[in-house]
């Protein structure tokens, strides 16, 4: 999945067709989720081996029906830290609407800067501040009336947020945004879908709780655990054979 996103920059954002631009953005969204959630789960597992219980950090965020719900499921420990040590000390939502929105603006601006001293991270934080403010004002009540539209809105909002997060140059963000909504529908995406389609499909499936619910329903988990062990060994073999590839989120 990371290879597909890297190809977007090598091709040149201005040359992307509309389908390929969306395909690349989908791949980045899945890559950063599995990258970050993966080593969060490893930390939790290693902690249990040493007798520590670390909190859950992700709860299938991509199935959210609003951006507000998404941020209750994504990077839970960071969201909780900012809530407990910045938002609430600033007054939270206890001092009127204007103060609430000001506090939200401060928190999300700091959240953006926490990821790096770059304008794209600042705009990324402000972007989510705007969406969360709109949901608090009226949008969330409207979204609750239509589950299908709420899911479409949320996944589009998340994908566009990752575009701002991933591309450091503001000019390139504008170019990529333009490609996402252009009328350029060439067949360049077919080649990449053929090469990455199966991986993307598996990624989409694993980003939902479907397999977890199936596993929890099994009375005899021996075969399931053997299958998981096989997948684990194959993953280790792939990592050993592959070139060095550090975790994507480590730089943050």
**Per-residue pLDDT tens digits for 146-183:** 999 999 999 999 999 999 999 999 999 999 999 999 98
Model confidence at 235, in pLDDT bands (50, 70, 90)? Answer: confident
Chain center to CA of 10: 23
Neighbour-count burial for 34-46, b at 16+ CB within 10 Å, e otherwise:
bbbbebbeeeeee
Model confidence at 245, in pLDDT bands (50, 70, 90)? Answer: low
Predicted pLDDT of residue 72: 97
Predicted pLDDT of residue 12: 94
Name residues whose C-beta falls within 8 Å of residue 209's C-beta, 6 or more positions apart in sequence: 60, 63
Provide the CB-side half-sphere exposure for 1 (13 A, CA): 20
Report the percentage of the chain scoring pLDDT > 90: 75
Burial class (CB in 10 A: 0-12, 13-18, 19+), 121: buried
Name residues whose C-beta falls within 8 Å of residue 157's C-beta, 6 or more positions apart in sequence: 67, 70, 131
C-alpha span between 137 and 66 (Å, rounded): 13
Average pLDDT, stretch 220-236?
A: 85
Predicted pLDDT of residue 223: 84
Model confidence at 246, in pLDDT bands (50, 70, 90)? Answer: low
Model confidence at 238, in pLDDT bands (50, 70, 90)? Answer: confident
Average pLDDT, stretch 239-248?
A: 64
Predicted pLDDT of residue 216: 85
Name residues whose C-beta falls within 8 Å of residue 88's C-beta, 6 or more positions apart in sequence: none
The pTM of the full predicted model, rounded to 2 decimals, is 0.90
Model confidence at 251, in pLDDT bands (50, 70, 90)? Answer: low
Residues assigned a catalytic role: 115
Other CB atoms within a 10 A radius of the CB of residue 129 amount to: 19
**Could you read off the pLDDT of 18-38 as tens digits, one per residue?**
999 999 999 999 999 999 999
**Could you read off the pLDDT of 78-134 as tens digits, one per residue?**
999 999 999 999 999 998 899 999 999 999 999 999 998 899 999 999 999 999 999
**Beta carbons of 196 and 27 less than 8 angstroms apart:** yes
Reduced to 3 states (helix: H, G, I; strand: E, B; else coil), residue 211 is helix
Predicted pLDDT of residue 240: 76
């Amino acid at each position: 999945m990371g290879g597909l996103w890297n190809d977007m920059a090598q091709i040149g954002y201005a040359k992307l067709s509309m389908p390929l631009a969306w395909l690349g953005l989908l791949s980045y969204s899945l890559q950063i989720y599995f990258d970050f959630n993966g080593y969060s789960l490893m930390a939790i597992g290693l902690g249990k081996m040493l007798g520590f219980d670390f909190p859950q950090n992700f709860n299938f965020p991509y199935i959210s029906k609003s951006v507000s719900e998404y941020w209750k499921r994504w990077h839970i420990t960071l969201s909780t830290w900012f809530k407990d040590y910045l938002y609430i000390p600033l007054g939270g939502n206890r001092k009127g609407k204007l103060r609430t929105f000001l506090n939200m603006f401060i928190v999300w601006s700091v959240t953006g800067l926490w990821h790096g001293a770059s304008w794209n991270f600042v705009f990324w934080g402000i972007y989510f501040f705007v969406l969360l403010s709109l949901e608090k004002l009226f949008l969330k009540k409207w979204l609750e009336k239509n589950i299908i539209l709420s899911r479409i809105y949320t996944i589009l909002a998340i994908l566009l947020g990752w575009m701002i997060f991933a591309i450091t140059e503001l000019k390139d963000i504008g170019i990529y945004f333009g490609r996402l909504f252009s009328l350029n529908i060439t067949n360049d995406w077919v080649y990449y879908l053929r090469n990455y389609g199966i991986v993307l499909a598996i990624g989409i499936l694993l980003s939902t709780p479907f397999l977890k619910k199936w596993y929890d329903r099994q009375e005899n988990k021996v075969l399931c655990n053997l299958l998981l062990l096989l997948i684990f060994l194959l993953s280790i073999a792939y990592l050993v054979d592959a070139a060095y590839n550090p975790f994507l989120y480590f730089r943050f």
